[in-house]
Amino acid sequence: MNKAFVIGISMTKFVRDPKLRVEKMGASAVWEAVGEAGINLKDIQEVYCGNVFGGAGVGQKVMAEVGFIGMPITNIENCCSSASNAFREVYHAVSLGRIDIGLAIGVENTTSLLQGRPIADEDDLEGAMGNSFPAIYAQRARRYMWTYGLKPEHLAKIAVINRRNGYYNEKAGFGALIDIDTVLKSPMVADPLHLYDCNTHADGAAAAVIVNEGIAKRLGGKPVEIVGSSLQSGKLPERFIDMTFEDVSYRAAQDAYKQAGIGPEDIDFAEVHDCFTIAEVLRVEGIGLCERGGMVKWIEDGTIEITGKKPINRSGGLLSKGHPIGATGIAQIYELCKQLRGEAGKRQIRGAKIGLAMNRGGAIAGIEANACTVHILRS
């Protein structure tokens, strides 16, 4: 394995606008990432593009809009993990020496397609019976509350923290300064999850230029090294065995730690897939940052906040940024790079050296998740 570095990264501001076109959003992200990398478009040897709902040829549409096409372009679908999956493919191509410079894109317009509906596959009997994502996470929250003494106020505090983090992130469309009361008084979506416990679908794009060590050194700038990259899918019945433990998140994280030669104690901060407040709880524990049930205390004592030992979702997370399905994974890595380069402005985590991004999505046919990726980056 050769070393691989992110030398250009970008994301559009995530918003809700059905009129935004994937090729325009994607091209905007590509131009910014390529510009930051200081490379020419013709230097891009290969492109992987994550997208779920855009139909055929989304990567090609983006690159045609960018104005440079002809290199290999592969479109990747893995539900909410599509962008981080595309990032992984480019990372592998570079780290295994197949290419020197690659481009990963994630892009989605969800609002024109989903019109507010939770995503459920036509064939999804479970979803058709009402066990949609809010319902699934509500059940998991109830179980976690029963097992570990978590209260709605704890979940509400995550909503408050992440919305505040997002308030200081100019790319986050839904940050806000709210208090716990606001969360608890917001409409109930699926008991115990209120409206503010849920993320919102959104529209946006993100892109990353990944290169090998020689090029990273030659171009200068602030390369960020990718030291771990793992993709796993869920196993069959695990969601029903223990709703408070994320086996797929655990496996992906352990694999990534092994690659990086570190343990969870070495992670300075993380972006985790907080599609709901309870999801952040389950994921911080799933990736082994915190012991099982330990998030109750971490929420209470501020460990996950900017002043704490393990700031989580300093970008604002999905709760603040919004969640453009096929773009979210690279947007997490955007935050990692910004923090590791010391460019996060008002939301900068002091002394951030190693960051982790955990992205997961889908739950077909009773499996825990279609996919879960964990990436570890180092400044």
Q: Give residues in contact with its own copies (CB under 8 A).
A: 21, 23, 52, 55-58, 60-61, 63-65, 67, 69-79, 85, 89, 92-93, 96-98, 119, 121-123, 230-236, 248, 251, 362, 364-367, 370-371
> Could you write out the DSSP letters of every residue in 23-60?
HHHHHHHHHHHHHHHT--GGG--EEEEE-SSS-TTHHH
**Residue in the block written with tokens 């919004």:** 322
Minimum distance of its own copies from residue 365's CB (angstroms): 4
* 85 or 277: CB nearest its own copies: 85
* 319 or 371: CB nearest its own copies: 371
Long-range Cβ contact pairs of 124-130 (< 8 A, separation 24 or more) = 124/364, 126/366
Residue among 79, 80, 290, 372 flagged as catalytic: 80
Minimum distance of its own copies from residue 264's CB (angstroms): 21
Structure tokens at 31: 């131009």
Structure tokens at 309: 């030992």
Minimum distance of its own copies from residue 248's CB (angstroms): 8
Centroid of chain to Cα 217: 28
Is 154 known to be catalytic? Answer: no
Minimum distance of its own copies from residue 251's CB (angstroms): 8
Is 80 known to be catalytic? Answer: yes
Cβ atoms within 10 Å, residue 171: 23
**Residue 63 CB-half CA count within 13 A:** 23
Residue among 198, 323, 337, 372 flagged as catalytic: 323
* 85 or 313: CB nearest its own copies: 85
* 77 or 268: CB nearest its own copies: 77
**Gap between the Cα atoms of 130 and 55, Å rounded:** 27
Closest CA to 368 of 247, 193, 269: 247
* 162 or 249: CB nearest its own copies: 249
Minimum distance of its own copies from residue 68's CB (angstroms): 9
Question: What amino acid is encoded at 352 in this protein?
Answer: A
Closest CA to 322 of 107, 161, 186, 173: 173
Residues carrying an active site annotation: 80, 323
